[in-house]
Each structure stands twice: as C-alpha cells, then as structure tokens.
Amino acid sequence: MRDQDITFANRDPNIAGAIATYGGRDIAFSSQGPYWKNLRKLFVRQLMSNSSLDACYGFRRQEVREALGDMYRKPGVPVNIGELALLILVNTMMAMLWGGTLQGEKREAIATEFRKVAAKLMVLLGSPNVSDFFPALAWLDLEGVERDTKRVHQWLDDFIQSIIDCATKGTTNEMFKQKGGESKSNEQRKDFLQIFLDMEMDLEDNQSPIDKGEALKAILGDIIIGGTDTTATMVEWVMAELLHNRYVMNKVVHELTEVVGEDKMVEEHHLPKLKYLDAVIKEAFRLHPALPLLVPRTPSASCVVGGYMIPKGSNVFLNVGYIHRDPKSWDKPSEFRPQRFLEDPSKYDFSGNNFTYMPFGSGRRMCAGLALAERMLPYVLASLLHSFEWELPPEFEMDLSDKFGLVVKKMKPLVAIPRPRLSAPELYMSR
C-alpha cells in the first residue's frame, strides 16, 4: 500500500464480482490503468469534491429530517436501525444523483428489498466459486454462486436502469418520484448522474456504445450500493455498541446537547465539534470494519513482501479486522473504549497513513467514497441520537456477533425504540 502500491493496485474479481460489475467496469473492481484512473479522477474530483458535497447538503438534510419526522409520528414503535439507515441513505444518494427518491407508500418495502438484495450480493462477493480457481470447471458451479449472482444482479440492473430512465427522460415510475425543482435549486451544480452522462465518452476510447452503458451502470452500482450498504451497516454497529454501553451513550448525548442544544436540530456544521462522537465512530470502525478483508489486491508482477515471494496474479487479502485488534498495537483490543481515540486525535484518521488503523483501506485503492462517508455517517448518527432517546425492546437481547460477507453485518438485526427528546414538537416537522 506504500512501497509496492503500484504493483498491488490491480484487481482480479471472482465470478460474483465479475458479474456484479459488468466484467470489472466499476471503480472498486477494475484494475489499474487509464480506464480506472479516469473513473476515479471523475468520481473524486467531480462528485466527491467539497464544492459538490456542499451543494448537495440540502438533499442529505431533507432525507434525514423526513425520517426523523416519520419516527416522531409513530412514537414508541420499534425501529429496525439498519433498514432505517438504508432508507435514508438510498434516498439521499438518489437525490444527489438525479434529484429523485423512492416512491412514497412503497419506499419502505422497496428499501427493505434493496437491503436484502445488497446483503445477498455481499455474501456472494465474499464467496469463492470453483470456477475462480479452475475456469475450465465453471459449468459445475457447485455452490450456485454464479446462478445466484445473476439472479441478484438482474434485480439491481433493473433498479439502476429505472433510475437512468427516470433521470434522462424526466419521468416517474412505480418505484421512483421526481423531487421537482429541488435538484436544480443550485444552478452551479449539475446532478451527479448528469456529470456521468456528460463525461461518459471520455472513459475509454475503444469501448462500444453497449460497453459504455454497462460502464455507467457499474459506476452507479458502486455509488448506490457501496455508498449506502456499508454506511448503513456502520450506523447499525455504532448504535449497537452504544446501546450495549450506556455510559458511552450518555456521554454522546451530553455532547450533542452541549454543542447543538435541545431547541435545534443537528446540522452538518456541528459535526467538527462532536469530538466524542467522532471517537465513538472510530472505535466502532476499529472493532467492526465494514470490509474486514477489504477488496483483494492482485500483484501485476511477482515480488517479495516481508521475505515471502508473492506470485503474479495472486489474490492478496489485507486482514484489517485482525490488525485493528492486534494486542501489539492496541491496549485491551477487544474492549469498546472510544477514549483511546481522544488521547492523540491526530494519530488516527481515515486516510490509511497509519497502518494499524485502516477501515477504508490505504494507498491508491482506498475507498473512493470516503469524503461522503465522513459526512453522512456522523450526520445520520448525530441526528438519531440527538432527536430521540433509544432503548431496546423488553424481549430483545443484544448480540454483537456478525455474519459472513464482503461487508460484515450484525448476525441479528438491531431493533430499538425511539422516544422524542427535543423541547419543541415542531422541530420534528421541519424540512
């Protein structure tokens, strides 16, 4: 990731990864080269720039406020935290992409189905298939990985195509609604999807028109799935740890009260002042990194690492899940102790420069969506924790075990009961 980063900057997706990304045409699974460089440059400079993210704050704010208002109108009703977070994030991401969101009455059902499909895809992406090691035996598909991936991918392909159709034709369908003029409220900003459509021809000179369409879908898949599922998963892990550690929860709420006040809602400009919440999030990433093995790297040439010969074309997994719990680097590594990130705040961040803490990876293949995640995750969490008091249902037993997948989720979904804590009811009705 540093001394030999260029050599290890390639990908060799398994059969599920190849199917899900239209042959590795997205940012995450395409190998280093002109195509990947152009994609990443477009994504980071155009979409993840501070100016673009600032211009889209209204979308993020509105979707969070709508979710808070929905919960306020149903006091005491248990909430599936992961599904709630995903609904907020999917609507936010689509609003940023093209100014539309999931359709009213059906949006929760669609978001639930989306979460099931995304979760299944993450399991498949982490599952090796016989054809990954013996291509000549692809016809066996012993575990049904290829068959299941194609089925899941078809649903996602239809979902993404519906977004493209609605965005380019200005129409609505049974899944999506247009948010009217809001997407054009800032004349200096194009919708993200329009940027992609304008830049598409520059991706790779020798692509056919069909390939270009698949490239667009692959990129949108990265944004819609990668930008929502991982963050929703981390919202659930943070909330689980807080409900399991009431003392820490109380400290977070106290900080929010001091910084924001009980007569205001959380805004993004409050986030830099929430030092303790930031430490809580970092500690959750240490214990529960969304991708504990990251995305595997493939060396472009045989080379020596730590005295070991790594053959060209190998799949190399970086086990940050263990690195984050290594007792040589961390005191009491199995304990949830956010204060460890307050002792020397500059020592640990999400940049990947400290090789004992790399939840978003490191080097040129680290997560391209980091800038948005650094805004969206604390904003959603701060809003939920500031606006409501949370408690577990009487019959619910906290379980912090996880389940297999490229993105590692809680084994048992987190359900909690929200109770309004702000002074003025009208705050929950604001948009």
In the chain, how many H helices and how many E strands? 15, 9
Residue 5 in domain: no
Is 6 a member of any domain?
Answer: no
Say what the pLDDT of residue 19 is: 92
Tokens of 201: 């021809």
CATH number assigned to the domain comprising residue 320 = 1.10.630.10
Query: How many CA atoms within 13 Å lie on the side-chain side of 284?
Result: 31
Cα distance between residue 250 and residue 231, in whole Å: 23
Question: In this structure, is residue 2 part of a structural domain?
Answer: no
Is residue 126 a part of any domain in this protein?
A: yes
Domain presence at residue 303: yes
CA distance 216 to 301: 30
- 93 within a domain of the structure (yes/no): yes
CA angle (61 as vertex; 348, 226 as ends), nearest 5: 55
Instruction: Give the Cα separation of 408 and 412 in Å (integer).
Output: 12
Q: Per the structure, how many domains does the chain have?
A: 1
φ, ψ at 237 (rounded to 5°): -65, -45
> How far, rounded to the nearest angstrom, does the alpha carbon of residue 330 sit from its chain's CA centroid?
26
pTM strictly above 0.75: yes
Note the pLDDT of residue 142: 54
DSSP state letters, 270-322: GGGG-HHHHHHHHHHHHHS-SSTT-SPBB-SS-EEETTEEE-TT--B---HHH
Return the pLDDT at 141. 60
Strand partners, 390: 418
Does residue 174 lie in a domain region? Answer: yes
Q: Which helix (H) or strand (E) holds 310?
A: strand 308-310
Q: Which two tokens stand for residue 232?
A: 């929703």
Average pLDDT by consecutive 10-residue portion of the chain (431 residues)? 94 91 92 89 85 90 94 93 94 81 74 89 83 64 79 93 78 60 44 67 48 83 90 97 97 98 96 98 98 95 95 94 97 97 90 96 95 97 98 92 92 96 87 67
Report the pLDDT value the prediction gives residue 75, as an integer from 0 to 100: 85
341 inside domain: yes
Structural domain harbouring 357? 15-429
pLDDT of residue 208: 47
Task: Tell me the C-alpha distance between 236 and 246, whole Å.
Answer: 16
Q: How many CB atoms sit inside 10 A of residue 187's CB? A: 6
Spatial distance between the Cα atoms of 61 and 88, rounded to a whole number of angstroms: 10
